Amino acid sequence: MTPPALSRVEGPAPSRVEKPAARRTYLDLLRGIAVLVMIEAHVIDSWTREADRHSRTFGESLILGGFGAPLFLFLAGVAVAMSAGSKARRVGDEAAAVRAVQKRGVEIFLLAFFFRLQALVLSHGPAWTLLKVDILNVQDSRTSRFFRGPRS
């Protein structure tokens, strides 16, 4: 008689290797468009002659450029929520998903301040520029402060 632990199991062997999650192409495309809109806003603002800054086209381009950062932040929030939900389903532990999102938020927050510190050192600017608001700082505060985890 064969012991139960060594008995033969019918069917394919279970796979221990997880496949990477499929990318949401539409999210990547929309984030790319948001980045292009932000680049457009900065380029138009930097390279427009003073005489052309009073035209209707310049004003409309500034309005369009104002949608880039909010769209990017909105899409980043959607991606974080989808990622956390996916991790919670995969692992089966909502608390682990919350910790992963919070860890990523802290990483982004620290990177944002390191970028500010590097800019301060290279530009020899005033120290208060470390406290300037940047999209990375805003994105982190949304990620780690407002994503508190499952409500009990």
- Asked whether the beta carbons of 83 and 101 are under 8 A apart, the reply is yes
Q: Which residue, chain included where needed, has tokens 């005489």?
A: 51
Q: The tokens 């008689």 sit on which residue?
A: 1
The domain locations on the chain are 25-145
pLDDT in tens, the chain (152 residues): 555 554 454 555 555 556 666 788 999 999 999 999 999 988 988 888 998 899 999 999 989 999 998 999 899 889 888 888 888 888 888 888 888 888 988 888 888 888 888 888 888 888 887 777 665 555 544 444 444 454 44
Alpha helices in 13-140 (DSSP H): 25-47, 56-65, 68-91, 94-123, 135-140
Instruction: For residues 117 and 3, give the distance between their C-alpha atoms in angstroms, rounded to a whole number.
Output: 64
pTM > 0.85: yes or no = no
Q: What's the N-to-C CA distance of the chain in angstroms?
A: 50
